[in-house]
Amino acid sequence: MYDIIIIGAGVVGCAVARELTKYHARVLVIEKNEDVCSGTSKANSAIVHSGYDAKNGTLMAKFNVLGNRMMGDVCKELDVPFDRIGSLTVCDDEALLPELEKLRERGERNGVEGLRVLNREELLELEPHIADGIVGALYAPTAGIVCPFKLTIAFAENAAVNGAEFLFDTEVKKVYSEDGVWRVATDSQEFTASAVVNAAGVYSDVFNNMVSQRKLHITPRRGDYILLDRSAGGYVKHTIFQLPTKLGKGVLVTPTVHGNTIVGPTAFDIEDKEATATTAEGLDSVIAKSAMSVKGLPVRQVITAFAGLRAHEDGHEFVLGEPDDAPGFFNCAGVESPGLTAAPAIGVHIAGLIKEKLGLQENESFVAERKDILDPKKLSIEERNELIKREPAYGTIVCRCESVTEGEILDAIRRPVGARSLDGVKRRTRAGMGRCQAGFCSPKVMEILRRELGVDLTEVTKSGGGSYIVNARTKDGE
């Protein structure tokens, strides 16, 4: 019997898990994929919104602004890359300039600080590559960029260190309550708990609708992105949004915390909750639309394209807390943009509700700090040599594009909630995330995973499940 079962190990599920370990509680996180951060949390814009966009009085507005304010401290505590670079929402139509003022006012009512409308000259000082047609922008200095993988992984690791359990490759099939106890049936076994947290992303309507008559309907809204090489880094210094026009919402162009540039997303409403395939139409439109705000963007330096699914609820609002007909079942549903920003605040809010409900006691031995995988690039040559003497694996470069050492990869696999696949290693260390896209390092990382996990090479996967990489010996190898 658990106190709380959390369905879904995305950024919201992991944030709630971490907050709950601040109390004495048995927490289990169940995830259908093989790792944390395998759904919406892994494929998004990786930005921390300031909070001017959400309508006044909505949960989206409230948790966006709260999450934005928390992000600096959370990322410091958990050693997650975060940079408050500011955002610019640009406008290419004189007639629409009053809209920028309206957004500023809306933002101020939401509690966003430092908003300013800039004219073209002021804008050019901040961003020299802004497109010729841009006439003004809303500047939001509190906006930022974060590594969504690292944030999710850090929440999970810290939760695990503080006692939360994680169960991967396990799909929840049924949730129901019986005699005041919540029962969570998976494809392998059934668990019981006093409370259930529904943090299932695009599936959050499915679980809500199993237990409540207050039906939800989530539409997976696909967003295609392209990612540019670090050699194109620094082309823009802020997150550049486009002011929505009659023609649509536009795309953003933003640096990432790792120095790449990300461009996207599109917005296609689809049915299939797993359909993360990009389309030529989507990728073309991303590139075409980026030219509205930024000129001369080196789009030929694309190193990868991907698509993510936003969990768009019909009401376009976060659905947080217990439905009135399902006490003890806590929704974190409809968490689409600005969900990544809001996650830390949603974690605190939901954990607070559960604490009240279950009467949880404070966990005095809670360890708040977590250190990320050591990045030897940040060390001096002397420090690095001491490290290599102690741990020779830090002297071997495995991923040449991102200069990732074997030491970092071993750490990624061995730490709590560690990596078990190529993608798991990639998200934790960036091995394979560079310009060759794992061409050179994947055989090496496969070998390290094989050794560390004690499996055959045919059992090493890209991302769990049926994503094997090799499936048989060669004739000579047999």
Partner 1 sequence: MKQQYDIVIVGGGPAGLAAAVAAYDSGAKDVLILERDEQLGGILNQCIHNGFGLHTFKEELTGPEYADRFIKQVFERKIEYKLNTMVMDISQDRVVTAMNREDGMFQIDAKAVILAMGCRERPRGALNIPGYRPAGIFSAGTAQRLVNIEGYMPGKEVVILGSGDIGLIMARRMTLEGAKVKLVAELMPYSGGLKRNIVQCLDDFGIPLRLSHTVVDIEGKEHITAVTIAEVGADRRPIKGTEERYTCDTLLLSCGLIPENELSTAAGVQLSPVTGGPVVNESLETNIPGVFACGNVLHVHDLVDYVSEEAAKAGETAARFVRGEIAADGGREIALKAESGVRYTVPVTVHPDRVADKVTVRFRVGDVYKDAFVSVYFDGERVQHKKKRVIAPGEMEQIVLTRKQLDENPDLKTITVKIEDN
Q: Which residues bind partner 1 (CB under 8 A)?
A: 226-227, 231, 274, 276-280, 282-283, 302-306, 381, 384-385, 388-389, 392-393, 395-397, 400-401, 403, 435-440, 442-443, 447, 457-458, 461-477
**Residue position matching structure tokens 């929505």:** 244
CB nearer to partner 1: pick between 294 and 299 = 299
Closest CA to 199 of 50, 24, 75, 18: 18
Least separation in angstroms between residue 433's CB and partner 1 is 10
CB nearer to partner 1: pick between 90 and 251 = 251
At a CB cut-off of 8 Å and minimum separation 6, what does 362 contact?
A: 22, 23, 24
At a CB cut-off of 8 Å and minimum separation 6, what does 234 contact?
A: 255, 259
Least separation in angstroms between residue 336's CB and partner 1 is 21
CB nearer to partner 1: pick between 28 and 286 = 286
The residue length of the chain stands at 478
Cβ-contact 432, 426 below 8 angstroms: yes
CB nearer to partner 1: pick between 185 and 302 = 302
Please list the active-site residues.
49
Least separation in angstroms between residue 55's CB and partner 1 is 34
Least separation in angstroms between residue 93's CB and partner 1 is 30
Residue 445 amino acid letter? V
At a CB cut-off of 8 Å and minimum separation 6, what does 204 contact?
A: 8, 198, 216, 218, 311, 319, 331, 332, 333, 334, 335
Q: Which long-range contacts (CB under 8 A, 24 or more apart) does 436-441 make?
A: 436/400, 436/401, 437/303, 437/304, 438/399, 440/399, 440/400, 440/401, 441/398, 441/399, 441/400, 441/401, 441/404
CB nearer to partner 1: pick between 18 and 42 = 42
> Phi then psi for 208, rounded to 5 degrees?
-55, -45
Least separation in angstroms between residue 397's CB and partner 1 is 4
